[in-house]
Every structure is written in C-alpha cells, then in structure tokens.
Amino acid sequence: MTAVTEVDTGKCQTGEYRKMLESLPVFMNVSDDAFIEIMDFIAEIDKLKTISRQTLILDGTRYENDAEHSWHISVMAPLLIRYLDGEAPDLLKTIKMALIHDMVEIFAGDTYCYDKAASADKKEREEAAAKRLFGILPDAQAEEFLNLWHEFEEMKTIESAYAAALDKLQPLIHNYLTDGKSWKLHGVYAGEVRVRISQLRSVSLKLWEFADSIISMSVSKGYLKAEPIDKKMHKN
Amino acid sequence: MTAVTEVDTGKCQTGEYRKMLESLPVFMNVSDDAFIEIMDFIAEIDKLKTISRQTLILDGTRYENDAEHSWHISVMAPLLIRYLDGEAPDLLKTIKMALIHDMVEIFAGDTYCYDKAASADKKEREEAAAKRLFGILPDAQAEEFLNLWHEFEEMKTIESAYAAALDKLQPLIHNYLTDGKSWKLHGVYAGEVRVRISQLRSVSLKLWEFADSIISMSVSKGYLKAEPIDKKMHKN
C-alpha cells in the first residue's frame, strides 16, 4: 500500500530527461509542450529495459527484462493469430497492448505471479503507476494508452484476451526451453501454472493444448512440482 | 564475404529448439509442421536479446540490445505519427517493420554504422541471413516477413521511411541523453551523424529539426567532433 500513497498521480512535468530535452536549441524560442511531453515519455519508458523478469532468456545466461518480453510477444501476435478460434482481433490494437502492457511496472515494480503476498495490493499500485506514467503524455495520447492498459487488464475484449494469452504463453515456452530453472527456483506447482494458462483455452484450443503439453512434459522432467500431497488428500 | 558462403539459405529445419518442441506430447501423434516452424522461429529470435548495440540504455549502465531497441521504436511509432508531413503511413505495417528490422543480425551480426570496412559486404550478409532466418517460418509468413524486411531496407514507401526514421532517431536521443559516451568512444563527427539523419527531413521537418538540434547541442557539449580540419581546408 505504501507505493500508492507515495505515487504522484498528477501530471508528471518534472521528468529527469525533460530538462535536458528542453535545453535543446530547437525549443529555445518555441514552446511545444506536446512534443516535449512525448519525448519525455519516450525517455522515461527506457526504464522498462531495467525491470528484470523471472524468466531466463533462452541461452540461459540471464533473466529477460520487460522491454524484451514486450517485444517478443508483439512479434508473436501476427504469427499466432491464425490459431485463434473466434473472431479475428484487431492486430494493431493487440500489438499496442503487448508493447505497453508492462509499462506500469516502471513505477509499480514487477510482481512475481506466484507470489501471493506481493499480489495483494498489486492492482492499486499499478493503477496509480499507470496514471502517473501515461500522464506524462499529452492528454489524447495519455487517454489512449491508459484505456489500452485498462482494456488489457480487464481482459474482456478479443484483443486483450489474445494479448494476455501471448503474455502467458511466452514465459511458459521460455521456462520449458531453459530446463525449468526459474520454476524450480521458486518451487512452482504444475497446478498453479495450469490455472494461469487456463485463459488460453477460451482464445485458442490449439495454443492451450500446446501450453498444457508443455506443463505435462515439465512435470515429467521435474521442472514443475506435481500436485501437493495435502491437496490430493483433501480430495478424498 | 565469408559469412555469405557459410550461410545455408535453404529451409532451416534443424533449429536447436525445434527438437525440444517436437518432443512435446501434443506433437506425438499429429504432424503439424507449420505450428512447429512458428514456435521454432519464436524461439530462434530470442537471440536478438543477446545482440548488443553501440547505444547505451539511458541509465548508462550497459549497451542496449536489438530486442530492446526494436521494442522502443515500435512504441515510438504511434506517438510520433502526428509529426509526419506527408501521407499517413499504415501504422501496423510500420510497427511490424520496426519489430523485425534488426532480426537479420541474428545470423549476420551487427555492423556499426560508422564502421566503413564492416559495412562493405553488409548487404550480402544480411540478405543471406534474412532468407535463412525467415525461412524457418511456414512459406506464407516467411514471405511476408522477408517482404517487410526488403521494403524496410529499400526505404521507398512511407511506412519504411517512417520506420527507418525512428530507427535513426532513437539512438540519437540515447546518445545525447547518455552524454555522448558512445560517440566519444568512436570519435564520431557531427557531419557523419548529419548525413545519417538527413533522411528524416523527407519524412518530418519537425523530427529532422529536433534531431539536428540534438547534433548542434552535442557538438557544443563535446559529444560529437566538429568537421575535420583537413575537410575545412579543402574548402578554401
């Protein structure tokens, strides 16, 4: 909760890069707030490159960051669209969501999806962070990005459902192809991952079967833990 | 030239990740080449995250990589489209180009733009690399990506001109906001950068003026070298 009260949800006008940009000769005689705001935002989001995820890059040498992950799922969007079962999504809108969906972590931090304690106030922290970050932009663009992010979070449209599916599928592939190192480190159960990828089923039976197959193979290889014993006992 | 002869331009069927994907239960009884090819490609392009550029990320701690750069210019595309002078580009096409434009470096390596020796056989190396990389995909998608990459390289359409402008603008902003460290390291002249960004002028006077202003300020701050003395002498 601390993060919410600390966050300034008003228009952010004092970006660290803004001052450097304002000192450029091109801005000496003309005031062009919208252009400076956009450039300030472009500089601000560079921080996404420093936000580490829990997924290793495929050569196994280091964790990937949010910018790399956003790029990866954006490329996946046009490639996997043919496997969607329902109405075709607006691909541009899907990719825009994929590009910006993790930006709120610049001010809200990353929350590991299987960390229940940190997930508790995630929603509030991220809402404040979104308003602060996208608020750097001129109003019309701030509104577009904030709406796209809200749509992604609510997952009620085909575009957001598809973007969310890609967001879940990519780390699954990475965890499998890096011998489940990250899953093993956190002692993740197959059931937790199955719940997480269940949304894929409503978007694409093919992608869900693929994901489910990765989970089965990951259990048999020891990357993921099978169901906890006490859970099995409760069933009887 | 060595790289060209070493490169297998045929259909790449032996991806290192392909075998791991083929062993998944979902593929045990069904042959689905297209799906495996797409997944193999998605794994293969992860290598873009390991290709270092000559531009520092804005906190100055390390060089950025091609995946991060591709993400960054893809986000810039919808934000700066309002500053284009001519006909509005197809934004989806522009972003697709931005996402894939550097992928050929996975097999061809990065070539520093101010390194004249390495630039000599760049075109041939990259053409072979593009055919090899995009050739991992099913035919229709291989063709789409190869065409998009060719269009980007030829820079004759408004989409490719805009994507190329973003590709040049982003490192300029980065070099300026990281105190010109990379430029100083390579002893780059302002004139070289001016030639490099001259293409911006045909796309957007606003973006070109902004870029030109960054160059002027970079000379006055000592990030870029002014014109070589012998060049000035030749003028008289």
What's A199's DSSP letter? T
Chain-chain contact of A68 with B64 (C-beta, under 8 angstroms): no
What domain range is B87 assigned to?
58-235
Residues B131, B34: one domain? no
With bands split at pLDDT 50, 70 and 90, how would you rate the model's confidence at B178?
very high
Mean pLDDT in residue range A41-53: 96
Tell me if A134 is assigned to some domain. yes
pLDDT at B11 over 70: no
- Report whether pLDDT(A28) > 80: no
Same domain as B117, residue B31: no
> Rounded distance, CA B184 to CA B181, Å?
5
A216, closest residue in chain B (CA to CA): B25
Q: Which of B46, B102, B146, B217 to mutate to test the interface with A (most CBs of A within 10 A)?
A: B46
Write out pLDDT tens, residues A79-96. 999 999 999 999 999 999
Would you put residue B222 in left (φ > 0), alpha (ψ -120 to 50) or beta?
left
Q: What is the pLDDT of residues A82-131, one digit of tens each?
A: 999 999 999 999 999 999 999 999 988 665 666 666 666 888 889 999 99
Pairing of strands B52-56, B63-65: antiparallel
Is A78 a domain residue? yes
CB-based contact A70 B71, cutoff 8 Å: yes
**Which single residue is written with the structure tokens 């601000």?**
A44
Q: What is the pLDDT of residue B236?
A: 37
Cα separation, A153 vs A151, whole angstroms = 5
Could you tell me if A34 and A137 are in contact, meaning their C-beta atoms sit under 8 angstroms apart?
no
Does residue B2 register a pLDDT over 60? no
* Helix pair angle (B158-177, B205-220), 10° resolution: 20
Query: A58 in a domain, yes or no?
Result: no
In this structure, what CATH number is given to the domain that contains residue B130? 1.10.3210.10
What is A63-104 written as a DSSP string?
Answer: EEEHHHHHHHHHHHHHHHGGG--SSPP-HHHHHHHHHHTTTT
Q: Is residue B230 domain-shared with residue B137, that is, in the same domain?
A: yes
Q: Where are the alpha helices (DSSP H) in B45-138?
A: 66-80, 91-100, 105-108, 116-119, 122-134
Q: Cα(B69)–Cα(B102) distance, rounded to whole angstroms?
A: 9
d(CA A20, CA A40): 9
The answer to whether residues B214 and B207 touch, using CB atoms and an 8 Å cutoff, is no
Beta-carbon-side half-sphere exposure of residue A48 (alpha carbons within 13 Å): 26
- Report the distance separating Cα A49 and Cα A34, nearest Å: 24
Strand partners, B63: B56
Per-residue model confidence (pLDDT) at position B111: 59
Look at B141 and A95 and tell me if their CB atoms are within 8 Å. Answer: no
In whole angstroms, give the CA distance from residue B147 to residue B150.
Answer: 5
Residue B84 inside a domain? The answer is yes
Specify whether B230 is located in the same domain as B199. yes
Do the Cβ atoms of A129 and A118 come closer than 8 Å? no
Q: Closest chain A residue to B36 measured between Cα atoms?
A: A210
Complex prediction ipTM: 0.89
One domain, residues B95 and B200: yes
Q: Which of A66-70, B11-15, B54-58, B127-131 has the lowest mean pLDDT?
A: B11-15
Q: What is the rounded distance in angstroms from the CA atom of residue B155 to the CA atom of residue B38?
A: 27
Q: What share of chain B is helix, strand, coil (3-state, %, to 5)?
A: 65, 5, 30
The shortest CB-CB distance from A42 to any of B41, B173, B217 is to: B173
**Strand positions, DSSP E, B15-97:** 52-56, 63-65
- Inside any domain, residue B4: no
For chain A, give the number of residues: 236
* Residue B19: count of CB within 10 angstroms of its CB: 10
Residue type, B72: H
Which tens digit of pLDDT belongs to each residue from A163-214? 999 999 999 999 999 999 999 999 999 999 999 999 999 999 999 999 999 9
**A58, B79: Cβ pair inside 8 Å?**
no
Q: What is the pTM of this model?
A: 0.89
Q: Nearest to residue A58, comparing CAs of B47, B120, B177?
A: B47
Contact B26 A210 (CB under 8 A): yes
Of A45, A65, A217, the CB nearest to B75: A45
- Residue of B23, B24, B139 best to disrupt the A interface, most CBs of A under 10 A: B24
Query: Where is A23: in which H helix or E strand?
Result: none
CA torsion sign, B89 to B70 to B208 to B193? negative
Smallest Cα distance from A232 to chain B, Å: 24
Contact between B50 and A59 using a beta-carbon 8 Å cutoff: yes
Residues B129 and B35 in one domain: no
Q: Which residues contact A225 (CB under 8 A, 6 or more apart)?
A: A187, A188, A189, A190, A219
In a domain, A54, yes or no: no
Which of B17, B167, B171, B150 minimizes the C-alpha distance to B77?
B167
Residue B214 · residue B176 · CB < 8 Å = yes
Please tell me whether residues B22 and B92 are part of one structural domain: no
d(C-alpha B80, C-alpha B200), whole Å:
12
- The verdict on a CB contact (< 8 Å) between A43 and B58 is yes
d(CA B200, CA B208): 5
Chain A hits for B170, CB-CB cut-off 8 Å, are: 42
> Does one domain contain both B24 and B103?
no
Whether residue B53 lies inside any domain: the answer is no
Residue of A nearest to B66 (CA): A68
> What total of structural domains would you count in chain B?
2
Q: Which helix (H) or strand (E) holds B180?
A: none
Residues B29 and B76 grouped into a single domain: no
Percent pLDDT > 90 in chain A is 73
Residue A53 lies in a domain: no
Tell me the chain B residues in contact with residue A26 when contact means C-beta distances shorter than 8 Å: 209-210, 212-213
pLDDT, tens only, B61-107: 999 999 999 999 999 999 999 999 999 999 999 999 999 999 999 98
- Indicate if B65 and B84 belong to the same structural domain: yes
Q: What percent of chain A has pLDDT over 70?
A: 84
- Model confidence band, residue A6 (pLDDT cutoffs 50, 70, 90): very low
**pLDDT number for residue B28:** 72
Mutant choice from A17, A39, A46 vs B, greatest count of B C-beta within 10 A: A46
Element of type H or E holding B121: none
Contacts of A24 in chain B (CB under 8 A): 210, 213-214, 217
Contact A95 B83 (CB under 8 A): no
Task: Please compute Rg for chain B using Cα positions.
Answer: 20
Residue B225, beta-bridge partner list: B189
Cβ contact (<8 Å) for B216 and A67? no
What is the nearest CA distance from B218 to chain A, expressed in angstroms?
9
Q: What is the DSSP string of A177-193?
A: HTTTHHHHHHT-BHHHH
Q: For residue B186, what are its two tokens?
A: 């390579």
In chain A, the residue whose alpha carbon lies closest to the alpha carbon of B65 is: A68
Least CA distance to A93: which residue of chain B?
Answer: B92
Which residue type occupies B115? Answer: D
